[in-house]
Structures are given as C-alpha cells and as structure tokens.
Amino acid sequence: MKRLPIPDDVTGDEIDKDVRQELQSLPKGLAEEVSRNLVMVARLIDEDPEGAYAYSRIALRLASRVAAVREAAGFAAYANQKFSEALAEFRAARRMTGSVELWPVMADCERGLGRPEKALEMAGAPEVQKLDKASQVEMRLVAAGARRDMDQLDAAIVTLQSPELASNSVQPWSARLRYAYADALLAAGREGEAREWFAKAVESDKDGSTDASDRLAEMDGVEFVDAFAEDEDDEDAERAQVTVSEEAGTRVPADDDDADDDADDVELADVATDDVDDDIDGGDLQDDQDDEDDDLDDEDDDLDDEDGDDSTGDAPVRPQS
C-alpha cells in the first residue's frame, strides 16, 4: 500500500486521548502510523479536504476495525461531498460504539443524497433525545435545512425558533444558529428582521465561522474593493503604455520588476511540468485506492454479519453541480 508523506513534526501524540486509547488495541508501530495519518486528516480537512481524504483512506486501510478511524474517514468523505461513502462510515462507527453522537451528521448526509424527508424522519427519532445540547442544536439546523430543501421556508423558520435562539448568552452554536435564522428570514423577504439577526450572528461569531459580517455589510450597501485587482489593473496600464510607445518608435524602458516577472514565469512553467508528472504518478495511488475499497467492502460485510442488518444500503451519490 502506498503511503503519503507526513511532516516530521507530526508525532501522532496530537490526537485526542480517547482516540489514542482506541488505538491501543493495535501493535505499537501500527498505532503510531495510524495516529499520524489521523493527525493529517484533522490538519487538512478545512483547507485541503481532498488531501485529508487521501490520508483518511490510508488510516482506514490500516485499521478499519477502529471506530475512531471509521469516523475520521466519514468526516473526510463528508467534507468532499461524498455523502454515500460518509454515511456508510458513520453507520459503521455507530455500530462499533453504539453512540448516537453522529446522528445529526448522518441526517445531513441524507440531505446531501437528496432525501430531505429521511433527514426529517431522523430529526423526530428517539435518538435525538439522547444527544447533548450542542448536537440537538445541530439536529435542529439539519431539520431546518431539510425544510428549505423541500421549499417549506416558513416551516424552516419555525424549526429554528427555540430557547437556544432566543437566549442572550453566547454558546459555541450561537453564531451558526443565528446565521441560519437570518438567512431563512432573508429568503422569506423579511429583510428588517434578517438584518437584526445577521447583526446578532456577528456579535457571537468570535472565530469567524460564518460570513455574517459580509452579509450584513452587503445589506447595508457596503462595497468591498479588491486591492489585488487594482494592482493588476495598474500593471495592465503600464504594459499598454509600453506597447503604445513601441508603436510610436520610442520604447519606454522596462522596470526591473518586469524582468523579475519573466523569471517567475519560467519558474511557474517548471512547476506546471512537475504537476503533470505528479498527476501521472497519481494514477498508481488511484489503483491502490480501488483495491483498498474492495477490501473495506469485504470488512464491512463482516461487520454487518456480526452486528445484524441495522442499516439501509447506500444511496447513489448526489450529482455534483
């Protein structure tokens, strides 16, 4: 099986202690390798979801019987909108642990697969009562999204109305809940209320998890100027001046920066050539992944035999727009 490079500063000790405890069932060397791949999944999943997915496949091939690995693979697939695959991994993790904490994201996978009715059914299931407060709020967000998928905008607004929304205290879920409510109000044409709730979302969004500030500014008619675009316009104007001068028979001396730009173009061409070589090498990784998928399917069949048939089959992946 082909491995991916992992920086030397990644030791594997960065993972959560509960995950580390799960990996104790593996030989020490294998546990370390799996943990380092899981660290890479967590490190890349927001900025480079495709890279995170590649590392998750390696961890999955090495330790498919570890629930934390199945969960990580599920989130990596989810980040890449591979909803059918994500749902299968989340179901496998749930069978192994018996936990309901993945229930909201499983319901959101149903939305991703074009089955909002199934997501709403899960929102009303007994499992929701076993969730902690944060997960219950997440389930409410998923249910509201399902209502909007079904063009039930008023029902989506009502779904989001809750004690958590009305509370003045700021919780980890406050920004996303207020943002979703503001967005639903705006879609319903209730602009005044929407602006109020976007402002509340901004107040609670300390880590910038939403674009509430941009949405609020847009409603207020604020226009943002792209400084990089202005620089490019200035460069285009300079080049046009050189062209006109050449046609007139008097060439304007080029700046040293132009020579530097030419050198950069050469370097970029070299990089592009390297990228083509990397793409060719990537074919080997795809072949390895296909083999891994076959092995994992066999192992999932074993899990189903051991645990019983408690889940439905995977649905076709939603077509990408």
Indicate the average pLDDT of the chain: 82
**Do the Cβ atoms of 178 and 197 come closer than 8 Å?**
yes
CB neighbourhood size of 186 (10 A) = 17
Which of 87-91, 184-188, 219-223, 313-317 has the weakest average pLDDT?
Answer: 313-317
Please tell me the predicted confidence (pLDDT) of residue 238. 66
pLDDT at position 301 is 57
CA 266 remoteness from chain centre? 35
Given this model, what pLDDT does residue 129 score? 96
Max mean pLDDT range (208-222, 225-239, 255-269): 208-222
**What's residue 290's pLDDT?**
53
pLDDT: is 119 or 240 the higher one? 119
Q: If pLDDT is split at 50, 70 and 90, which confidence band does 233 have?
A: low
Task: Name which of 121-130, 147-156, 224-233 the model is least confident about.
Answer: 224-233
**DSSP code of residue 15:** S
Mean pLDDT of 36-54: 97
Q: Does position 278 have pLDDT exceeding 90, yes or no?
A: no
Which is more confidently placed, 13 or 223? 13
CA distance 226 to 31: 47
Residue 138, classified by CB atoms within 10 Å of its CB into exposed (0-12), middle (13-18) or buried (19+), is buried
Q: Is the pLDDT of residue 164 over 70?
A: yes
Residue among 111, 80, 106, 112 at smallest CA distance from 93: 106
- What does the chain come to in residues? 321
Tens digit of pLDDT for each residue in 111-139? Answer: 999 999 999 999 999 999 999 999 999 99
Helix axes 67-79, 28-44, angle to 10 degrees: 20
Per-residue pLDDT tens digits for 87-116: 999 999 999 999 999 999 999 999 999 999
Question: How much is the pLDDT for 241?
Answer: 62
Question: What three-state secondary structure class fits 248?
Answer: coil
CB within 8 Å of 320: residues ≥ 6 apart: 81
- pLDDT for the residue numbered 277: 44
Give me the pLDDT at residue 223, please. Answer: 73
The pLDDT, as a whole number, for residue 221 is 87
Can you give the pLDDT at residue 242? 53
Give 62-127 as a DSSP string.
H-TT-HHHHHHHHHHHHHTT-HHHHHHHHHHHHHHH---TTHHHHHHHHHHTT-HHHHHHHHTSGG
Chain centroid to CA 3? 23
Q: What is the pLDDT of residue 312?
A: 38
Indicate if the pLDDT at residue 41 is higher than 50: yes
Of 163-167, 282-286, 315-319, the range with the lowest mean pLDDT is 315-319
